[in-house]
């Protein structure tokens, strides 16, 4: 792996740390129904254009952290095909945090975009 690839991978990892949490809250808010991990990952793939970039396993610790922070609620339900599934849904506190994080994301994105404007054309 070249030096450039190493730096890019590190940068992508640092970028994804907070954005995955934001994207998960947004997916659960937009669907409006409880979803289990696989369905959340599929929805992220469908609308997120690579937010998880094939790392579905990274989703579960983030979901647990969001639930631990009181932003999601979950319940386990039996499955007709396989083990029981944990369904997650966003709660009111999660919606409030999503709104704050979305504003922070947009302000950061706009600020970085304005700095980058004209750098690479």
Distance CA 39, CA 27 (A): 10
Mean per-residue pLDDT of the chain: 89
Give the mean pLDDT of 1-19: 81
DSSP letter string, 8-70: HHHHHHHHHHHHHHHHHHHHHHHH-S-EEHHHHHHHHHHHHSSSSTT-GGGHHHHHHHHHHTT
- Which among 1-15, 32-46, 59-73 has the top mean pLDDT? 59-73
Whole-Å CA distances, 65 to 2, 25, 58, 59, 111: 34, 12, 11, 10, 28
pLDDT tops 70 at residue 54:
no
pLDDT tops 90 at residue 33:
yes
- The band of 51, judged by pLDDT with boundaries at 50, 70 and 90, is low
Q: What is the pLDDT of residue 49?
A: 73
Token pair for 27: 């997916």
pLDDT digits (tens, 9 = 90+) for 62-103: 999 999 999 999 999 998 888 999 999 999 999 999 999 999
């Amino acid at each position: 792996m070249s030096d450039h690839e190493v730096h890019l991978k590190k940068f992508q990892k640092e970028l994804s740390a907070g954005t995955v949490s934001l994207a998960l809250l947004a997916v659960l808010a937009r669907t409006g129904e409880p979803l289990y991990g696989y369905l959340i990952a599929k929805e992220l793939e469908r609308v997120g254009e690579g937010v998880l970039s094939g790392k579905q396993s990274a989703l579960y610790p983030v979901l647990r952290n969001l639930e631990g922070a009181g932003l999601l609620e979950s319940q386990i339900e039996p499955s007709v095909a396989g083990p029981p599934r944990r369904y997650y849904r966003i709660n009111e506190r999660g919606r409030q945090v999503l709104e704050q994080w979305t504003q922070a994301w947009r302000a950061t994105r706009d600020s970085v975009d304005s700095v980058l404007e004209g750098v690479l054309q």
